């Protein structure tokens, strides 16, 4: 992150909710000067101003970056209320809103769409980015450095991949949280105290995910390593891996529904 450049020209953050707030905390932790940040959000949390960040005040005439961190349903009103981006790099973390839509709002501007996910709140997110034709290598590098404040960043080859990214990693944490819910409920149904079942389910999902990241490669290999023939895991997997009623077809429908909704939001 080019701190000197950002500190000199300033950064405007529109929306300081869960994701915008996580990004702001990450930037400040990396050395961005509070006085260089200008937040637009009528409901900005108190800590933002307490850190010395300008909230709903006068904006710099020529900011280096404009970050849009509002919900896609609000984006139309937000874009209508903003002026021209001038020479600013525009970075959006809203699902569904296309590069073409931003191009109409900010003619000639370099625009980067980014799709982070909620583990960004603890610096463990993963973000996919893609830019428009005006976003050159320097613009993509700057966008990547900004998003790395909350976790890993991957670059897409084409914007058409963004709806699938949204459905897999953007919405994916909610699927995992629901898995924890259902696994804990099933444990309680088998006689475990509810709080113990939840602790076991949460730790199991977190640990298995960490192991998968550490080992890398095909997760089927890890699954097979813990599945003894005719054992308890195999019995459970016989239900999860049923070709008609199991987890595979269910997740396929889940991701397809989320991706389709992303495409609808982009219309």
Burial code (b: 16+ CB inside 10 Å, e: under 16) for 182-193 equals ebbeebbeeebe
Nearest to 32, CA basis, from 59, 9, 55: 9
Say if residues 102 and 159 touch (Cβ distance below 8 Å). no
Is there a contact between 179 and 255 (Cβ–Cβ < 8 Å)?
A: no
- 110 has binding-site annotation: no
Taking Cα atoms as reference points, which of 186, 181, 176, 185 lies closest to residue 254?
Answer: 176
71 marked as binding residue: yes
Token pair listed for 176? 């995992």
Is 255 labelled as part of a ligand binding site? no
Please report how many Cα atoms fall inside a 13 Å half-sphere around the Cα of residue 131, on the Cβ side.
21
Q: Rounded to the nearest 5 degrees, what angle is found at the Cα of 43, between the Cα atoms of 37 and 47?
A: 55
72 is in an annotated binding site: yes
CA distance 163 to 142: 23
Residues of the binding site for NADPH: 56
Residues of the binding site for NADP(+): 69-72
Residues of the binding site: 56, 69-72
């Amino acid at each position: 992150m080019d701190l000197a450049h950002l500190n000199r020209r300033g950064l405007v953050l529109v929306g300081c909710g869960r994701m915008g707030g996580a990004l702001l905390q990450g930037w400040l932790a990396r050395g961005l000067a509070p006085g260089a940040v200008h937040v637009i959000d009528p409901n900005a949390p108190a800590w933002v101003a307490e850190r010395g960040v300008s909230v709903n005040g006068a904006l710099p005439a020529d900011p280096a970056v404009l970050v849009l961190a509002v919900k896609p349903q609000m984006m139309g009103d937000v874009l209508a209320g903003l002026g021209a981006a001038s020479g600013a790099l525009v970075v959006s973390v809203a699902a569904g809103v296309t590069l073409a839509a931003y191009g109409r709002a900010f003619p000639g501007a370099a625009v980067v769409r980014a799709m982070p996910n909620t583990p960004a709140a603890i610096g463990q997110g993963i973000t996919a980015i893609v830019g428009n034709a005006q976003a050159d290598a320097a613009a993509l590098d700057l966008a990547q450095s900004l998003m790395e404040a909350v976790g890993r960043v991957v670059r897409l080859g084409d914007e058409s991949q963004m709806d699938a990214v949204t459905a897999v990693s953007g919405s994916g944490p909610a699927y995992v949280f629901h898995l924890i819910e259902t696994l804990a409920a099933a444990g309680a149904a088998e006689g475990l105290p509810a709080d113990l079942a939840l602790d076991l389910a949460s730790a199991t999902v977190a640990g298995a995910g960490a192991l998968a990241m550490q080992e890398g490669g095909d997760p089927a290999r890890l699954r097979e390593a813990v599945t003894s023939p005719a054992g308890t895991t195999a019995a459970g997997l016989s239900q999860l891996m049923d070709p008609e009623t199991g987890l595979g077809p269910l997740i396929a429908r889940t991701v397809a529904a989320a991706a389709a909704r992303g495409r609808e939001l982009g219309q």
